[in-house]
Structure 1
Amino acid sequence: MATGTADATDTLPSSGPTSDGRPSGRVPLGIGAGLAATLLVVLALRLFSGRPLGVEDNGDGYRLFCGAGLTPLTADGYASWRGGWTTDFAVGPPTCPDPVPSSALVIARATTLVSGGTWSPTALGWAYAVLVGLVVGLAAWAASAGGRRRGLAVAVPVLPLAAATFPRFFVSTYSEPAGLLGCVTTAVGVAALLVTRREHRAERVVALVLTAAGGLVATTAKVAYIPVLAAAIGVCALVAVGVRRPHRVGPAIAVVTALLAVAPVLAALERQAQFYAPVNAHNLVFTTTLLEMGPTATSALGLPPEAAALTGNGYFNGPPRPDGVAWWEGAILQRPSETRNAALLLLAEHPATAARAVGVGLQATTLADLPYLDSSPATFEAPSSPDGHPGWSGARQPDLAQVLDDTRRPPWLPSALVLLALVAAATARWQGRAARWSLAAGLAAGTALALIVVAVAGDGYFEMFKHAWLAAYLLAVSGLCLAGAAVTALAVPLIARRSRARGEGAQG
């Protein structure tokens, strides 16, 4: 999920080592890297300007900001679908008894403590920028243990944040920004692990804690981000620390992280089943399973033939639901778990169809800029509209297909990138100094693929573009790592040849 360093630089000496062999000046390097990462986010979001970039609320924001005691200061008291993001909120006691449990809520509540009675999502933007700088600074310090150039390894997971596509969620009332923060934290932690050695005990422990903490923050932001936690735990379990007894710290951190995640993950799954089981079942069946398999699949799902008329229609934002129709209420409202399980089993029995559905999810990562969610601040006078774009929300066909067809970006590119990264990781042992880059690329791509699988299995094509957004970030990291592997594979032999030529010239 992060990168190794360009090992061609290992042939160059590091200046000023300390008595234990570690280079000097590492603390200033870490501070500088952290400040640079913070500044990168600040500039990408235009936080110094009067019109910073953010993300319009699609209705999901209330489930989180109500728990922080925030009330939109708008003409109608709502914040969703206003043609921009709401800039001002009043701060008070929580306005709902059951806000969505999320690490994003913890961060939002913390920023309200210094609000002075009114609050803006720009406060979140600044908070996330500082948090990104903090984790990057720690990771850069750890990564530089074997040489200051190695501290540059943490730059790769940070580079995608230069595009507003990803950090603009930091200025929003969604759970996604905490998911991105967790993903970045895990990524820079893995970067530090890849470029340090087992004798760098303190540095590797710091990197392991970052890796594990990032997985926890991401998964407790949204339970659909659990692949990030799985990747973090897997990495920690495989990392050795120390020379004499190298197999204790990493696995111990992996076990502790897994135990800490059990309660919040189970609570989130229980809440999802309690509030959204019918929604998820409807979306999986009608926006994906029947759409991909055709009307003949109704019988295998326990539905009558007339159910095929709803194919392509989401629970929200699509044509009106068939409330009062006995078969729909029975299958969706009364038995959502059974219906959803039948849909998943049917997809598992037809792997080509399942792969095509995952391919659609991967294609959605090419539109991670989510233009249907406005980046500009909304005006106070603009009333909230009832819903968003049915195509971008994945709630109605043929609108969804039209959105996918209209993009000028190659639809096959994400799938090809995932395949290439996984092959590169599988063959890393034969790649010499490019191996760490390839392992990082494969980890990032594999985690992105898992995020897409969870998204499709959880809610079908509904809101697929937004659900695929974090996977798009990981694919960007994976692509940069593959580029690093290619450059290393070409640069190392060239440097070796030049070194031999200089040596032969000196002898001559």
Structure 2
Amino acid sequence: MTGPPSGRARALTAVGAGLSAVAVVLLGLGSRGVEDNGDGFRLICGEGLVPRTVDGIASWKGGVVTDFALASAPTCAESAPSSARLVLRTAVLLSEDTLDLRTVGLLYALLVGLVVGLAAWAATATGLRRALVLVVPVAPLALPWFSRFFVSTYVEPAGLLGTVAVGCGLAAFLAARHAAPGDRAAALALVAVGGLVAGTAKPAYLPVLAVAVAVVAVGSRSLVRRGRQRWVPVVVVAVLVAGAAAPVGAALRFQAIAYESANVHDLAFTLVLPELGPGATTDLALPPEAAAYTGTGFFNGPPHPSAAWWREAVLTRPDATRARVHRTLASEPAAVVRAIGVGLRATVRADLPYLASGPAVTNRLSPLGGDPGWSGARQSDFRRVLDAGGWWQWLPALLVAACLAVGWRRTPWCRAAGLAGVTALGLVAAAVFGDGYFELFKHVWPASYVLIVAALCLVGAGLSITVRTKRVRRALTGPTLANRAH
């Protein structure tokens, strides 16, 4: 029986895995990117980036604006607090007078490679082949649906990077479950860092942070002995939560300042009223004429309400309206289930074709809004795009159900599938109940990545169960056949 691999062999494997991951990202990335829908300004303005376009705007230019001038100071009073700013700021420091957005994409590719390399080192503690488990969280990045977001001005790339880190750390921890505590602790550290990066990228990614905290809490218990060390998991989780508290709080405050009215409007008019009908206006303390705006998002009208009752409910007292929305949904569990089902159906359109991938037309003035179907600005158009998903739009719900069904089993693949299913469900719920159906396809985009990882975990779980079943059958039938021979 051979011993554990040498440190040199593990290091070479880690380097190879990291470089392979970079190649996978660059393969999916190609010359693609993601067109700005207007959200990008809230990130780039804090770094003093000015799009080099005819009107100084990067959104809806028929493609991706990649050239930015560097201003001497921020171009806005307050920008979005996000871990994505760290990557963007690094790219700015590496630039002189202008920033090429493709530099940001390369930085993300290198960070993915670093994450995979560290995970491979931890995973190979008891065998070099165990690094193959990292194929599961990395393989989906070969799809341009996900990797092209690395060349964009959104905060989503940081959320995806953090989610990938959580997946790689979990895979390494499960692969090294019989290794020394130090190697398993390194894998858990990667889970913790990934959760922090994802959770502080955008409030909608908090489910990833929550799953990371749970994994660290349970996993760290296996690293300590009884006695005084039993408090180590508590301390580790407390430090992780404390580290996330300030940036998450800042992001939530910014969200309330920049988007609260829009979120409340979208919850009421694109979620509650379409699902519950005109009678729900009474529960929302809205007049009957509010039903005429059912399915209309805050942005991209007309029609767009402007009456006194709308200003009172959405602009003046959004907290009270949000509370009524939550009470109304809580009293209608069937509507909640339908809404989550709609969110799961939307995950099959992770390609987001309404956000162009090619070069932008920089001498073109930006229009006011995007596609009303893909943005959810008009309910009829939104439903048309949703229904165009084909029969496979029902697969995500079946996939989540399968993940939850096998998640209780003790095999590593089953546990990974269960965690992936829970994470995807949390991301969908955060998107649906955070902003209704407005631009739902983009908001559930991270869940699409997690669901592909979940599907791969289910394949691994099926193979694992099959192999284990065959071993049990051989163990039971072997002695019987031997006795018959005598």
Interval of TM-score (by shorter of Structure 1 and Structure 2): over 0.9
**2:266 alignment counterpart:** 283
2:434 pairs with 458, 468, 485, which one?
458
Tell me the alpha carbon deviations over residues 434-465 of structure 1, each in whole angstroms, 9 at most, x when there is no partner. x2111111101111111111111111001100
Contact 1:165/1:368, CA 8 A, preserved across alignment: yes
In structure 2, the residue matched to 1:396 is: 378
Query: How many angstroms does 1:16 deviate by?
Result: 5.5
Given the superposition, is the C-alpha separation of residues 392 and 227 from structure 1 closer, same or farther in structure 2, using an over 3 Å criterion? same
Aligned: 1:43 with 2:30: no
CA contact (8 A) 2:4 2:126 kept: no
- Which one of the candidate residues 1, 4, 10 is aligned to 1:26? 10
Q: Partner letter of residue 273 of structure 1?
A: A
Deviation for aligned residue 1:500: 10
- Over residues 291-338 of structure 1, what are the superposed CA-to-partner deviations in whole Å (9 max), with x where a residue is unaligned? 000001111110111110010000001214222x11111111111111
Indicate which of 338, 341, 363 corresponds to 2:345: 363
Tell me, in whole angstroms, the C-alpha distance in 2 between the residues paired with 1:499 and 1:334.
71
Higher relative contact order (Cα pairs below 8 Å, separated by 6+ residues): 1
Give the corresponding residue for 1:62: 41
The match for 1:348 among 330, 354, 371 is 330
In the TM superposition, what whole-angstrom CA distance separates every residue of 1:80-131 from its partner, at most 9, and x where no partner exists? 0011000211112321120111111111011111112111211011000000
The worse-fitting range, judged by mean Cα deviation, of 78-87 and 382-391 is 382-391
The partner residue of 1:77 within 56, 66, 86 is 56
Q: Does 1:17 align with 2:4?
A: yes
Report the equivalent of 1:306.
289
- Aligned-pair distance for 1:380? 2.3
**How far apart, in 2, do the equivalents of 1:254 and 1:446 lie?**
20
C-alpha offsets along residues 229-266 of structure 1, whole Å, 9 cap, x if unaligned?
10000110001354645745444322211011111112
Bigger Cα displacement from structure 2, 490-499 vs 331-340? 490-499
Do the aligned residues in 1 keep the contact of 2:413 with 2:457 (CA within 8 Å)?
Answer: yes
CA distance in 2, matches of 1:310, 1:247: 56
**Residue 357 of structure 2: SS of its match in structure 1?**
coil
Opposite residue 257 of structure 2, the aligned amino acid is Q
Match of 1:379 in 2: 361
Provide the alpha-carbon RMSD of the alignment.
2.2
When residues 243 and 250 of structure 1 are mapped into structure 2, their CA distance, relative to the original with a 3 A threshold, is closer
In structure 2, how many angstroms separate the alpha carbons of the residues matched to 1:26 and 1:74?
48
Tell me the equivalent position of 1:437. 413
More deviation in 167-176 or 116-125? Answer: 116-125
Please say which of residues 383-392 and 284-293 is displaced more in the overlay.
383-392
Q: Is the 8 A contact 2:126 2:178 kept in 1?
A: no
TM-score, scaled to structure 2: 0.94
Unaligned runs of 5+ in 1: 1-12, 47-51, 430-434
For the residues of structure 2 that align with 1:90 and 1:24, how far apart are their CA atoms? 45
CA distance in 1, matches of 2:139, 2:106: 18
Calculate percent identity across the aligned residue pairs: 51
Q: Are 2:433 and 1:473 equivalent residues in the alignment? A: no
Quick check: 2:293–2:303 contact (8 Å CA) kept in 1?
Answer: no
- Contact 1:102–1:221 (CA under 8 A) maintained in structure 2: yes
Are 1:176 and 2:163 matched, yes or no?
no
After superposition, the Cα gap between the structure-2 partners of 1:184 and 1:208, relative to the gap in structure 1 and judged at 3 Å, is same
Structure 1 position 492, deviation (Å)? 3.7
TM-score of the two chains, using structure 1 as the length reference: 0.90
Q: Indicate how the Cα distance of structure 1 residues 133 and 139 shifts in structure 2: closer, same or farther if over 3 A, else same.
A: same
Unaligned runs of 5+ in 2: none
Partner of 2:145: helix, strand, or coil?
coil
Aligned to 2:305: 322
How far, CA to CA, are the matches of 1:161 and 1:463 in structure 2?
22
* 8 A contact 2:57–2:366 mirrored in 1: yes
Task: Indicate how the Cα distance of structure 1 residues 423 and 78 shifts in structure 2: closer, same or farther if over 3 A, else same.
Answer: same
Matches within 5 A, 1:120-135: 120-135=100-115
Which of 339, 342, 352 lines up with 2:321 in the alignment? 339
Q: How many aligned positions are there? A: 479
- Report deviation, 1:274: 2.2
Matched, 1:146 2:126: yes
Kept in 1, the 8 Å contact 2:4–2:125? The answer is no
